[in-house]
């Protein structure tokens, strides 16, 4: 197949591009390189089956042109800066809602029928049921990031219903692994590199989190688009376990051989709108025969290995 | 209090303006008069407590300026053209999502803390539970209209969480009564005026619908903003009953004294994305001591009376 991947130079996008190319597919990558890294596409750019379109999803015409001739769109580009949403509230609207609408319009113009979308377990807001299934009680949104992702989910579903498209919406827990460039492992590693004797931790360290390894995430997506037959499939993606931030700190410190003093900012959550607990029921996805290979600890270690071997990501993101 | 009412010249907006003025409040009306009718504000415009700002919600600066000095915003302006959403998909994004974001930004700029929002029972999509409660299973969106309303709900909730606002989100069934200018009673009345001998009906006439009378709707809203204490209150608004389109046809024909041949377009729903059944559980709103005065039939008759006495609305909307 011929796929458009938005956010192709990002963490998840670039890993997906490599997987698709390895499987023999042809790929058009779309990225504005605002947070994506050209270096993540080093290998892809050598392939005759890959083309990179450097552009912004807010430019409808460019999106439409880039998607010409594709059979499927993997729409991964997003403002993933969950934490600072309140400092620039328009960013989520632009990059997560309007950008998604442009992708859908580009598809409609070109008669492309299939769209894969990276949503988030944050859409469950203050979930009351754990692990949280896809049909949990209709939640109230608590962050602009999640609200904008849910808005995009809605637009995609409405386009599927109205224009005969097929949608695969994945609600992720946090993903980590190679090319991971933000989130707590990234922050903690950077801190411990600068000052191995202490570590500043947002919240009280008891926030429970669930993490999925990037290759397990991609295996799920690639399997689901083969197996899921519904007009719109909404699928949670995570592991059947969670950890506390403190557990993760333990693994990181052990792996790096450091014993920092822990300085907690305190409180139940890292920041306003942070979900204290995202733990997803992934039965639906497992029903397709998928299961993750790596557990949370293994994913954290893989991430540390990557960071240790690619320290340039810290300066590239400065 | 001093209220900004968006969509002030519309069906619900103009009735709300009159109620607020009658209760002694001061009101700034905002409307671009694209579908609103200046005539609906005839009485309001005579009041020294009312000011009309003719403007478009897509102009952020104008919205922000208009809302200066207000304590509360009733955000009712919307693209309510549910049926033809697929013919102009950008309209819902602009008028329901981006416009809502502008209203919220205007509020944030001016330190306004309370927002009332008119959402819709359509956000429940293909509901599986009837009557449908506010915490029904997380639905998949089926129309651009509903998707855009849900997106607006999410933005409002996230602003409430992030910026310390208080939100009142009402999910309406269809509203009817004085100044009603679209929907099935409007269409049927117009048809029967033109050709009393036959009536074209979308679908098979068995679509079940629930309707609420405008004054009952406004009483609920005005009561809820006194009583509801949550940061974000999501409240269904409807009557505890439903009818079939065929029932309504019976009441209309009886009231008008006509016996048309019924010509059904057939099928379970009126159009792609139409919800075959919206019937809301309104226990939460009733918990505040509210109950509607009029039943569906009485609401339909009130609407017919209004249309018979204000036939200009048919040409004004041409």
Pick the CATH number of B2-175+211-237 from 3.40.190.10, 2.60.120.620, 3.40.50.720, 3.30.70.60: 3.40.50.720
pLDDT at A206 over 50: yes
| Residue from the list A97, A105, A142 with its beta carbon closest to the beta carbon of B151 | A97
Q: Give mean pLDDT, residues B201-211.
A: 91
pLDDT band at B274 (very low <50, low <70, confident <90, very high): low
pLDDT at B126 over 80: yes
Phi-psi map region of A263: left, alpha, beta (phi>0 left; psi -120 to 50 alpha): beta
The CATH class of the B182-209+242-279+295-316 domain is alpha beta
Q: Give mean pLDDT, residues B184-208.
A: 94
pLDDT band at B273 (very low <50, low <70, confident <90, very high): low
Give A270 or B287, the one with higher predicted confidence: B287
d(CA B218, CA A28): 52
pLDDT at B310 over 90: yes
Write down the pLDDT at residue A30. 98
The answer to whether residues B207 and B276 touch, using CB atoms and an 8 Å cutoff, is yes
Partners of B5 in the β-ladder: B29, B74
Residues of chain A contacting B, Cβ within 8 Å = 85-86, 89-90, 93, 97-98, 101, 104-105, 108, 124-125, 134-144, 146-148, 150-151, 153-155, 157-159, 161-163, 232, 234, 272-273
ipTM: 0.94
Strand, helix or coil for residue A258: coil
Residues of chain B contacting A, Cβ within 8 Å = 85-86, 89-90, 93, 97-98, 101, 104-105, 108, 124-125, 134-144, 146-148, 150-151, 153-155, 157-159, 161-163, 232, 234, 272-273
Q: Give mean pLDDT, residues A46-68.
A: 97
Of A55-59, A132-136, B76-80, B110-114, the least confident: B76-80
- Which helix (H) or strand (E) segment is A2 a member of? strand A2-6
Q: Give mean pLDDT, residues A105-120.
A: 97
pTM: 0.95
Q: Give mean pLDDT, residues A70-95.
A: 88
- The model's pLDDT over B15-28, given as tens digits with 9 standing for 90+, comes to 999 999 999 999 99
Max avg pLDDT among A76-85, A272-281, B165-174? B165-174
d(CA B304, CA A123): 43
Phi-psi map region of B51: left, alpha, beta (phi>0 left; psi -120 to 50 alpha): beta
Write down the pLDDT at residue A271. 59
Neighbours of A309 (CB within 10 A): 9
Which residue, A51, A49, A43, is CA-closest to A178? A43
| Residue from the list A101, A142, A151 with its beta carbon closest to the beta carbon of B161 | A142
pLDDT band at A318 (very low <50, low <70, confident <90, very high): very low
pLDDT cut 90: percent of chain A above it: 87
Which chain A residue has the Cα nearest residue B90? A101
pLDDT at A291 over 70: yes
The CATH class of the A178-209+243-275+295-316 domain is alpha beta
Task: Please tell us whether the domain made up of A2-175+210-237 is placed in CATH 2.40.30.10.
Answer: no
Is A168 catalytic? The answer is no
Cα of B30 to nearest chain A Cα, Å: 22
pLDDT, chain B, mean: 94
Strand, helix or coil for residue B141: coil
- The model's pLDDT over B47-85, given as tens digits with 9 standing for 90+, comes to 999 999 999 999 999 999 999 999 999 999 998 777 666
The answer to whether residues B83 and B275 touch, using CB atoms and an 8 Å cutoff, is no
Of A77-86, B195-204, B249-258, B282-291, the least confident: A77-86
- The model's pLDDT over A174-193, given as tens digits with 9 standing for 90+, comes to 999 999 988 889 999 999 99
Phi then psi dihedrals of residue B230, to 5 deg = -65, 155
| Same fold? A2-175+210-237, A178-209+243-275+295-316 | no
Residues of chain A in contact with residue B93, where contact means CB-CB under 8 angstroms, are: 97-98, 101, 155
d(CA A28, CA A18): 12
Neighbours of B81 (CB within 10 A): 15
Judged by CB atoms closer than 8 Å, whether chains meet at A89 and B234 is answered as: no
pLDDT cut 70: percent of chain A above it: 96
Write down the pLDDT at residue B316. 79
Domain boundaries, chain B: 2-175+211-237, 182-209+242-279+295-316
pLDDT at B268 over 80: no
Which chain B residue has the Cα nearest residue A86? B162
Counting one residue from A and one from B, how many pairs have CB atoms under 8 Å apart? 132
Strand, helix or coil for residue B188: helix
Distant-in-sequence contacts of A293-296, Cβ < 8 A, 24+ apart: A293/A213, A293/A215, A293/A216, A294/A213, A294/A215, A294/A216, A295/A239, A295/A241, A296/A210, A296/A211, A296/A239, A296/A241, A296/A242, A296/A243, A296/A247, A296/A248
Of A29-38, B159-168, B198-207, B273-282, the least confident: B273-282
């Amino acid at each position: 197949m011929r796929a458009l991947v938005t956010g192709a130079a990002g963490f998840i996008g670039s890993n997906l591009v490599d997987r698709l190319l390895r499987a023999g597919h042809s790929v058009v990558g779309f990225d504005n390189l605002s947070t994506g890294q050209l270096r993540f596409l080093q290998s892809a750019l050598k392939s005759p089956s890959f083309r990179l379109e450097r552009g912004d999803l807010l430019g409808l015409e460019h999106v439409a042109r880039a998607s010409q001739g594709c059979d499927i769109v993997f729409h991964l580009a997003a403002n993933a800066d969950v934490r600072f949403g309140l400092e620039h509230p328009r960013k989520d609207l632009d990059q997560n809602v309007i950008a998604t609408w442009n992708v859908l319009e580009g598809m409609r113009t070109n008669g492309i029928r299939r769209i894969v979308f990276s949503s988030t377990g944050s859409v469950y807001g203050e979930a009351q049921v754990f692990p949280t299934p896809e049909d949990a009680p209709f939640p109230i949104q608590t962050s602009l990031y999640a609200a904008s992702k849910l808005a995009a989910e809605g637009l995609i579903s409405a386009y599927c219903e109205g224009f005969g498209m097929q949608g695969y919406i994945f609600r992720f827990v946090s993903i980590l692994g190679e090319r991971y460039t933000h989130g707590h492992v990234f922050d903690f590693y950077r801190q411990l590199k600068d000052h191995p004797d202490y570590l500043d931790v947002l919240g009280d360290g008891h926030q429970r989190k669930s993490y999925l390894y990037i290759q397990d995430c991609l295996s799920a997506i690639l399997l689901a688009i083969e197996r899921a037959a519904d007009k719109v499939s909404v699928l949670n993606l995570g592991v059947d376990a969670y950890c506390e931030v403190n557990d993760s700190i333990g693994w990181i410190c052990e792996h790096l051989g450091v014993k920092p003093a822990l300085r907690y900012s305190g409180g139940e959550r890292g920041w306003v709108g942070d979900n204290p607990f995202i733990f997803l029921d992934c039965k639906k996805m497992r029903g397709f025969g998928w299961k993750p290979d790596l557990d949370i600890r293994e994913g954290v270690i893989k991430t540390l290995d990557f960071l240790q071997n690619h320290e340039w990501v810290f300066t590239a993101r400065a």
